[in-house]
Amino acid sequence: MIEETSADNMKRTWVANGKYRDWYDVAHGQGEVFLRHASQVKNIWVPYGA
């Protein structure tokens, strides 16, 4: 449902698809895969010069 709703405005989603996530477990609540999904880098272009 969340992914279907976000398709209208092209927003990125990350859902568990019904699976339980233990936020206190090291394997579920941290690590490279978690960091990759939980953060997103965006560039802001600022026009500068004449």
Looking at residue 14, its pLDDT comes to 76
Per-residue pLDDT of the chain (50 residues; tens, 9 = 90+): 777 777 777 777 777 778 888 888 887 778 887 888 778 788 888 888 76
| Residues found in the chain | 50
Which residue has tokens 């279907």?
A: 4
34 burial via Cβ count (<10 Å: 0-12, 13-18, 19+): middle
**What are the domain boundaries of the chain?**
2-37
Looking at residue 23, its pLDDT comes to 80
